[in-house]
Structure 1
């Protein structure tokens, strides 16, 4: 029974976090990031400001916190170590994008895409978020390196993993910017596959949709 109670608490916590973040993204989009306070977000979500800060320690976290890193790491860890680094990382990035855009925000795929688009536009257009987004980029790069495993005492292997992760993330960023500019009309997984293929060659990724 303690495990069940723990699971229920975790589910409630995750639901509260999703609700707060959904209202935050909506208000930031409607009113502007700088013009919206944490108190505004708390009132819209029906919680106290203290609850908001418990889930999101900073205002920037209301936009930047996501589960992308965990999804990518899980998929890399589950991939075959015999595959080239770029294929392992690229496949994880594509699969994670597919998960997040096809039900990553509730049961409505369109809601998931619109939520991601709104977050991405805020990160691109808001100076305070751009700086923190770079920190998140480095954190995701390290999460990828950790998920790849390998011999942590081998500096050359670690360097290769870091280089491959950084290059793949640069290709993904190019795809994300194009996706935002295209207002989400093109499927994101296909755009990421296309960007990876442009950078590393067609054989570096599996074909994904019409854009791959």
Structure 2
């Protein structure tokens, strides 16, 4: 969380850029919207846009959810084994999001699945998410974050989550994402019964 006035102003500018970009993408389409148009709508210069988002794709892909999730994983009671701790952390992290944030996340997910350039950046971002989850799980367990056990565990969690996200997008958010993710992690926790 931004604490100093400068950090709060930067966070507000970043949020404004992203909100204006998503609004323009919804109105005009991703490909038809330029960085210059986003900058103008955000009342900044194009060079300022690039100080906050290295590429147009990043305005869709970047968010603050990974740090929130990682903090929630670390915060879970020490007695919880890794998978119940991750499930509880996801529930707690989703609880922090407003309905508007979830709606924005759905729109961003739709763009991530439908726009090839955004899809590539999303896939690249998954490595950062995997590293963050591995670090949090390792911190809780005392294991090395690069160990095969931690990496396999995080891979299984991500493998369960991705189809939940795909279903959420395909169903246009009909079933809440937190429920879909919890259900998917529940299958994983139960040993993947079919």
Give the alignment's TM-score, normalised by structure 2.
0.88
Deviations 1:1-32 (A, max 9, x none): xxx9x611111111110010011112122222
Deviations 1:126-156 (A, max 9, x none): 111111111111111110111122243x86x
| Structure 1 CA distance for aligned equivalents of residues 113 and 67 of structure 2 | 22
Output aligned runs, 1:17-56, within 5 Å: 17-56=14-53
Number of paired residues?
187
Matched, 1:138 2:138: no
Output aligned runs, 1:96-135, within 5 Å: 96-100=93-97, 103=98, 109=99, 111-135=100-124
Structure 1 residue 97: Cα displacement: 2.4
Q: Which residue of 2 aligns with 1:87?
A: 84
Note the aligned Cα RMSD (angstroms): 2.0
| Structure 2 CA distance for aligned equivalents of residues 179 and 31 of structure 1 | 24
Structure 1 residue 187: Cα displacement: 1.8
Structure 1 residue 200: Cα displacement: 2.7
| Structure 1 CA distance for aligned equivalents of residues 28 and 183 of structure 2 | 35
Matched, 1:175 2:172: no
Go from structure 1 to structure 2 and tell me whether the alpha carbon gap of 1:118 and 1:187 turns closer, same or farther (over 3 Å shift): same
Any stretches of 5+ residues in structure 2 without a counterpart? none
Q: Which residue of 2 aligns with 1:186?
A: 175
Structure 1 residue 179: Cα displacement: 1.3
Matched, 1:66 2:70: no
| Structure 1 CA distance for aligned equivalents of residues 77 and 130 of structure 2 | 19
Deviations 1:109-139 (A, max 9, x none): 2x22221111010001011111111111111
| Structure 2 CA distance for aligned equivalents of residues 170 and 93 of structure 1 | 15
Go from structure 1 to structure 2 and tell me whether the alpha carbon gap of 1:62 and 1:125 turns closer, same or farther (over 3 Å shift): same
Given candidates 74, 78, 86, the residue that maps to 2:75 is 78
| Structure 1 CA distance for aligned equivalents of residues 21 and 185 of structure 2 | 32
185-194 or 38-47: bigger deviation: 185-194
| Structure 2 CA distance for aligned equivalents of residues 18 and 73 of structure 1 | 21
